[in-house]
């Protein structure tokens, strides 16, 4: 399954620097949106745990469970997501497959729950989670993977299209 890209922004000039800036922004926004979605589904009891586990695992101060803790959690996930976005850019920027984007997100779910889980005491083990929590958190990570993967691949494809267009303009014309 291939994804085709269309651009409505004809006046945008793509350079390596603008693509790197876009990867940074995509990572930040992806992490913020995913953590906010996690908080919403936790509020409605679709998940047993909140993204606040990133703070509550290490601190028991009162502000961690207040709105300040939620704000810091969202920002932390945004910063972590910037790193993940650059990893995606370095390894998978040429991919144009929706299934690959979903698998990228699920891969990060597996990494969080099986590799980083010992670091976070308040993150339940998969064996102790309800099926609702497992499915909901996997879906959030799958959506996150689609957001990161599609957005970065789109920006890279636009950059390559711009580079190819510039290369065609600088080629010498042969006279017949």
In a domain, 106, yes or no: yes
Residue 2, domain member (yes or no)? no
Q: Are 66 and 4 in contact, with CB atoms under 8 Å apart? A: no
Per the structure, the count of domains in the chain is 1
Per-residue confidence (pLDDT) for residue 60, from 0 to 100 = 84
Q: How confident is the model at residue 3, as a pLDDT?
A: 39
pTM of the predicted protein model: 0.84
- Interior angle at CA 138, CA 133 and CA 143, nearest 5: 130
> Which segments of the chain have a pLDDT < 70?
1-14, 169-176
Measure the CA–CA gap between 96 and 76, rounded to whole angstroms: 29
Residue 2 confidence (pLDDT) = 38
174 is a domain residue: no
Residue 7 lies in a domain: no
Q: What is the pLDDT, as a whole number, of residue 1?
A: 37
> Does 170 reside within a domain?
no
Q: Is residue 166 part of a domain?
A: no
What pLDDT score was predicted for residue 163? 83
Question: Can you give the residue range of the structural domain that contains 44?
Answer: 16-161
Among 98, 145, 103, which Cα is nearest to 1's? 98
Cα→Cα distances 36→30, 32, 39, 70, 140, Å:
10, 6, 5, 9, 10
Structure tokens at 49: 């745990």
Query: Which residue matches tokens 């998978």?
Result: 92
In a domain, 83, yes or no: yes
Q: Is residue 151 part of a domain?
A: yes
């Amino acid at each position: 399954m291939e994804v085709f890209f269309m651009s409505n922004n004809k006046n945008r000039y793509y350079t390596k620097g603008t693509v790197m800036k876009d990867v940074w922004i995509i990572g930040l926004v992806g992490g913020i949106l995913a953590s906010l979605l996690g908080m919403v589904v936790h509020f409605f009891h679709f998940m047993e745990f909140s993204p606040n586990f990133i703070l509550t695992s290490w601190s028991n101060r009162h502000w961690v469970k207040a709105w300040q803790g939620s704000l810091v959690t969202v920002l932390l996930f945004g910063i972590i997501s910037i790193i993940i976005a650059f990893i995606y850019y370095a390894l998978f920027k040429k991919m144009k497959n929706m299934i690959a984007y979903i698998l990228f997100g699920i891969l990060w779910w597996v990494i969080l729950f099986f590799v980083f889980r010992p670091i976070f005491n308040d993150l339940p083990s998969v064996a102790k989670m309800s099926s609702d929590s497992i499915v909901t958190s996997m879906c959030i990570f799958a959506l996150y993977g689609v957001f990161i993967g599609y957005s970065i691949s789109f920006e890279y494809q636009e950059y390559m299209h711009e580079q190819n267009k510039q290369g065609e303009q600088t080629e010498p014309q042969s006279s017949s």
